[in-house]
Amino acid sequence: MSNATPVTTANFDSEVLKSSTPVLVDFWAPWCGPCRAVAPTVDALATEFAGRAKVVKLNTDEESDIAVKLGVGSIPTLMVFKNGEMVERVVGNRPKNELAALLTRHI
């Protein structure tokens, strides 16, 4: 089980856009090998940043409307949201230190 909170269309606004802390969103799908490869890093960041930032996962197969709206063309895509706005985006499996630095910049 993941340490990152799953988000859906129903709770994306409340969990991501209206969050009082920065949010790292992992856009993924079960069939995506690079998504599975980055998953342990995303889970570790969820634990490390608990209380300072949120880390959530959005399954693009199940929630394609949000992915399309945000221009997700490849997965994994990781976005940082702050104050309801997307402030950074990276595509592909990235090392933990790079993703931690990405999130730290917005805390």
Write the pLDDT tens digit of every residue in 10-36: 999 999 999 999 999 999 999 999 999
Domains in the chain (CATH in brackets) are: 5-104 (3.40.30.10)
What's the pTM?
Answer: 0.96
Tell me the average pLDDT across 65-85: 96
Q: Does residue 47 have an active-site annotation? A: no
Confidence of residue 3 (pLDDT cuts 50, 70, 90): confident
Could you say which of 25, 32, 78, 103 is catalytic?
A: 32
**20/72 Cα distance (integer angstroms):** 24
CB 88 within 8 A of CB 106: yes
**Is 32 one of the annotated active-site residues of the chain?**
yes
Catalytic, out of 35, 39, 55, 72? 35
CB 53 within 8 A of CB 24: yes
